[in-house]
């Protein structure tokens, strides 16, 4: 099932946004969930992932300290809070379920699929 991302917008550098993506409790319990982005002319890259059950998070070096991935099982949603946005953060953002474990290749989206339409972030 494709996930539907929302929350993207055009913001000034230094601004903040929160992206959201509905997902099932089953997905949160059993799969690594991730946020990815793709800028024009570039390959899709991993931004952040959260492990099944939400105990562990991983971030790309470019967003570490500025972005926070979280899940709200009561709202059945995956979130990506972004602060101190930079122009290089611009792109289409996608959420996706992955394998049962967030492996070392998560950054390359290995094992992730069911890509949705994405939500555009422009800084």
pLDDT at 116: 87
What is the structure's pLDDT at 73?
Answer: 85
The band of 65, judged by pLDDT with boundaries at 50, 70 and 90, is very high
* Cβ contact 25:10 at 8 Å: no
pLDDT, tens digit, 9 for 90 and up, residues 73-115: 888 999 999 999 999 999 999 999 999 999 889 999 989 988 8
Work out the burial of residue 55: count CB atoms within 10 Å of its CB; fewer than 13 is exposed, 13-18 middle, 19 or more buried.
exposed
Mean pLDDT value across the chain? 94
Residue 62 sits at the vertex; the CA angle it makes with 108 and 59, to the nearest 5 degrees, is 60
pLDDT cut 70: percent of the chain above it = 98
Q: Pick 120 or 2 by higher pLDDT.
A: 120
Tokens 């979130």, residue located: 79
Confidence at residue 1, expressed as pLDDT on a 0 to 100 scale: 62
Q: What pLDDT, on the 0 to 100 scale, is given for residue 52?
A: 93
């Amino acid at each position: 099932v494709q996930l539907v991302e929302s929350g993207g917008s055009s913001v000034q550098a230094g601004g903040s946004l929160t992206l959201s993506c509905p997902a099932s409790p089953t997905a949160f319990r059993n799969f690594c969930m991730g946020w990815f982005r793709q800028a024009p002319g570039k390959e899709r890259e991993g931004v952040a992932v959260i492990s099944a059950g939400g105990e562990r998070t991983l971030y790309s070096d470019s967003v570490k300290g500025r972005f926070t991935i979280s899940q709200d099982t009561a709202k059945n949603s995956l979130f990506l809070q972004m602060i101190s946005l930079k122009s290089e953060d611009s792109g289409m953002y996608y959420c996706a379920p992955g394998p049962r474990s967030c492996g070392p290749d998560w950054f390359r989206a290995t094992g992730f699929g069911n890509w949705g339409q994405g939500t555009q972030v422009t800084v």
